[in-house]
Amino acid sequence: MLLNQIHKGIVECGTDEAGRGCLCGPVTAAAVILPLDFKSELLDDSKKLSRKRRYELRTLIEEQALDYHVSHVMMEKIDEINILQASILAMHQAIDGLTIRPEHIAVDGNKFNSYREIPATTVIKGDGKYLHIAAASVLAKTYRDDFMSRIAQEHPEYSWEKNQGYPTKKHREAIRKHGATPYHRMTFKLLPDPLISDL
């Protein structure tokens, strides 16, 4: 079972992002503050959960969290500042959206920029270790999936409602056939390099 938080007895938010490895769409982050007595045996890293379970847990998190906020950073900004900095910006924006000021920030991963002099701890695979980071991973993933399903209606040929913009074979075949859309990240390698023959 995941731990409640890193430091007991203080207001601590967990934050995580979704969509770093995608070829299109935003990178999305969430920040979540859970009650100190929050418990869930089902909550885990969103990547380990089924789509149905993620949405069930999203409802639970939104009902029981003391505070939460979700933020998107769009493709143009990703291309401008790079995906790592855009992911951190999305986490900062999610924390900005909280109405409760956290005393400590628990971050999934190993990279984070200081935020308003609030102490922060990075935790590799933190979404599989701490409930509030796992909760943030679930919100980030489901809200980003919702966004991708909406824009999939504009460009059905890319099947974003199924691949969420990740570099699947079908997604890349659609890029090869139809080209890039305004939702694609132009600094990413949208298509693999062609095979180079030694002949």
Mark the ranges of the chain whose per-residue pLDDT is less than 70. Answer: 194-199
Q: How far apart are CA 197 and CA 130, in angstroms?
A: 49
Could you tell me which of 40, 66, 67, 11 has the C-alpha nearest to residue 134? 40
Cα–Cα distance, 111 to 10 (Å, whole number): 23
pLDDT at position 199 is 41
How many folded domains does the chain comprise? 1
pLDDT score recorded for residue 194: 65
Angle in degrees, CA 78, 167, 185, rounded to 5: 20
Structural domain contains residue 183: no
Assigned domain for 190 exists: no
Q: Please, what is the Cα angle at 195 between 189 and 199, to 5 degrees?
A: 150
pLDDT in tens, 100-154: 999 999 999 999 999 999 999 999 999 999 999 999 999 999 999 999 999 999 9
Tokens representing 185 are 């990240």
- In a domain, residue 189? The reply is no
pTM: 0.94
Residue 160 lies in a domain: no
pLDDT at 190: 96
3-state secondary structure the chain: CCECCCCCCCCEEEEEEECCCCCECCEEEEEEECCCCCCCCCCCCHHHCCHHHHHHHHHHHHHHCCEEEEEEECHHHHHHHCHHHHHHHHHHHHHHCCCCCCCEEEEECCCCCCECCECEEEECCHHHCEHHHHHHHHHHHHHHHHHHHHHHCCCHHHCHHHHCCCCCHHHHHHHHHHCCCCCECCCCCCCCCCCCCCC
Residue 166: inside a domain:
no
- Residue 156, domain member (yes or no): no
Residue with tokens 């919702």: 146
- Is 121 a member of any domain? yes
Q: For position 125, what pLDDT does the model report?
A: 97
Residue 84 lies in a domain: yes
Residue 142 belongs to what domain range? 12-149
CATH code of the domain containing 76: 3.30.420.10
